[in-house]
Structure 1
Amino acid sequence: MFIETPKAQVTKSKEETFNFLNDLSNFRQLMPENIDKFEVLNENRFLFALKGMPEIVLEKKEQTPFDQLVLGAASEKLPFTLTADISEVGSEQSEVVLSFKGEFNAMMAMMIKSPITNFINTLSTNLGKI
Structure 2
Amino acid sequence: MNLEGRKIIVNKSSKELTEVLKKAENYKEFMPEGLQKFEPREDGFKFGLQGMPEIALKIAEVDDQKAVLKSASSSLDFSLTATLNPINDNQTEVQMLFEGKFNPFIKMMVEKPLKNFINALTDKIEAYK
Normalised TM-score (structure 1): 0.94
Residue equivalent to 2:29: 29
Residue equivalent to 2:103: 105
Measured in 1, the distance between the counterparts of 2:31 and 2:110 equals 17
The total of aligned residue pairs comes to 128
1:9 aligns with 2:34: no
Residue equivalent to 1:85: 83
RMSD: 0.9
Measured in 2, the distance between the counterparts of 1:16 and 1:62 equals 16
| Unaligned runs of at least 5 residues, structure 1 | none
Q: What code does the residue aligned with 1:67 have?
A: Q
How much has 1:52 moved relative to structure 2? 1.9
How much has 1:76 moved relative to structure 2? 1.2
Runs of 4+ more than 3 Å apart: none
Q: Deviations over 1:70-119 (max 9, x none)?
A: 11001011110001110011110001111110000111101100000000
Residue equivalent to 2:126: 128
Residue equivalent to 2:55: 56
Q: Deviations over 1:43-88 (max 9, x none)?
A: x11000111211111002223x211111100101111000111001
| Unaligned runs of at least 5 residues, structure 2 | none
Q: What code does the residue aligned with 2:24 have?
A: L
Q: What code does the residue aligned with 2:51 have?
A: G
Q: Contact 2:44–2:57 at 8 Å: present in 1 too?
A: yes
Residue equivalent to 1:66: 64
Measured in 1, the distance between the counterparts of 2:30 and 2:83 equals 16
